Structures are given as C-alpha cells and as structure tokens.
Amino acid sequence: MREDMDPKLKILGVIPARYDSTRLPGKVLRNIAGKPMIYRVYHNGRQSGLLTDLLVATDSDKVLRYCESEGIPVILTGTHPSGTDRLREVMERVEADIYINIQGDEPTLRPEHLAAVVSPFLTGAPGVQVSTLKVAIDEAAAREPGNVKVVTDDSGRALYFSRHAIPFDRDGAGVRRYKHIGLYAYTKAALALFHSLPESSLESAEKLEQLRFLQNGVPIHVVETPYDTVGVDTEADLQRVELLLSGPGHVGE
C-alpha cells in the first residue's frame, strides 16, 4: 500500500449474485474449468490485500447453500432490480467506508482491477463518490453493443457511457475508444443517493444504471487499466472464459 493511502478505511467487497439470469440461467453456479463461476470471482477477489472483507450477496437459496458449503461469506438479501440496489441493502447491514460492487459474472477479475478502482479514494482525490474502470479497445470491439463504451474529461471523470461506439469519428482521423469495465467503488452516501433517485431517462434508453448518477450530476471517476475482463452473459462467453482459464498463465486456480 502506498504511503499516502489511508490505512484506516474499511473497504468491503460485495459480489451481487443473482441466480435467475435471463440470458444464462444459473450462470453464477456454472462450472468454468472445474469450478463454479462464483467460486472463481470470490477467490480472485480474495487475492487483493486492499479489501477489509469480501462477501457474496444473493437472493438465491442455491447460491447461499453453495457458498456456505465452500466457506464463502454470504448474505441472503431481498429481491432487487439491480446489483447496486442489492449492494445498498448490504450497506445497511454491514458497516464500511467504501463498498466495491464486484460483478458475479466476471471470473477474469484480477487484484489489479480492485487496486485501480479504489485508488481515487485512497489517494485523496477530492470529491470522489463513485469510481469505475476503463480499458482501451480496438474498432471491432467498439462496434459491439455488448461492450459498453465510456468517454471522460481530461481529469478522468465520465462524460457519458453508451453501447454505441463513442466518440463518433466524423472525419476518420482516428480516435481511441475505451470499454467500460463494470466494477464500481462507492461511498455510503452515493449508494444511498442512487437508491433514492428514480430511474433516469438516459438510464432507461441505454439500459445502463450508471447514467442515473451522471444525469443527476454525480461525478464518476474512471481509472484506466491495461487488463480487460470477459463478462459472462451467454453460452459463447462461458466457452470463451473456459478456454482462457483452462490455458497456461490464467488468473486464479
């Protein structure tokens, strides 16, 4: 840990894990290279020395029983429309200074991702309420609507998130585009505010909940990472991650 980081901050990692995924039912318990996905996300997260605690938050008895059988800390929550809302319930039950939303379908999570996403809080950047990550992508990846893109100002604060390839390169001069990695760190106040605000029009249009913050004037700090992730939403994603984690040099067990 760097000398200018505050060692007193309690940082809680939370893995919202919904079993009834629409596109890939039961995906958090699907096996990837011999281990269920939630196992891989949890144990990859545990490699970070920055987290005070790490737990799974789920409304599924199946996920609850699995985690308990593996000794993975787990909380049974109510049913929520989003992982952020589930995280807010955890906030009301478990005290921390910073809450990290770790997607339960990101089995290629690395400790470096967690270090990057909390860095704006730990280094004393002023006014930080929410932070997230971005990674540079090529033109082909930018055209994929499944990859959410982000543009930021010169200080690293998000200007907009979109499923379109933003920014638009009108004259073909060449622009650098960034994929948004859906790992977030929040203050308690930011989580409470998100829950109190109604769904925004931009959020509804893009189906991106982080736009609720931007449309209501809450800044999101975006940190660049060199490490991409492979989120699992479909069978094809599952097969892709299976190949990655079965090969040499993969992250985790």
pLDDT of residue 252: 46
Identify the architecture of domain 11-133+180-224 in CATH: Alpha-Beta Complex (3.90)
pLDDT of residue 124: 76
Q: How large is the average pLDDT for residues 12-37? A: 90
Give the separation between CA 137 and CA 145, rounded to whole angstroms.
13
Q: DSSP string covering 5-42, please?
A: S-TT--EEEEEEE-S--SSSTTGGGSEETTEEHHHHHH
Contact (CB, 8 A) for 16 and 91: no
Q: How large is the average pLDDT for residues 18-41? A: 89
Taking the model in full, what pTM does it have?
0.91
Is the pLDDT at 253 greater than 80? The verdict is: no
Residues with Cβ within 8 Å of residue 173, at least 6 apart in sequence = none
- pLDDT band (50, 70, 90) for residue 248: low
* Residues 200-244: tens digit of each pLDDT: 999 999 999 999 999 999 999 999 999 999 888 888 888 888 888
pLDDT of residue 126: 80
Is the pLDDT at 251 greater than 70? The verdict is: no
- Position 205, amino acid: A
Contact (CB, 8 A) for 242 and 122: no
* Residues 56-100: tens digit of each pLDDT: 999 999 999 999 999 999 999 998 888 888 999 999 999 999 999
Structure tokens at 146: 């499944």
Is the pLDDT at 162 greater than 90? The verdict is: yes
- pLDDT band (50, 70, 90) for residue 5: very low
* Residues 177-195: tens digit of each pLDDT: 999 999 999 999 999 999 9
Question: Measuring CA to CA, which residue among 63, 72, 81 is closest to residue 22?
Answer: 81
Is the pLDDT at 4 greater than 60? The verdict is: no
pLDDT of residue 153: 97
Is the pLDDT at 6 greater than 70? The verdict is: no
The residues with which 136 forms a beta bridge, in sequence order, are 178
* Residues 99-124: tens digit of each pLDDT: 999 999 999 999 999 999 999 998 87
- pLDDT band (50, 70, 90) for residue 2: very low
Give the separation between CA 96 and CA 13, rounded to whole angstroms.
10
Burial class (CB in 10 A: 0-12, 13-18, 19+), 198: exposed
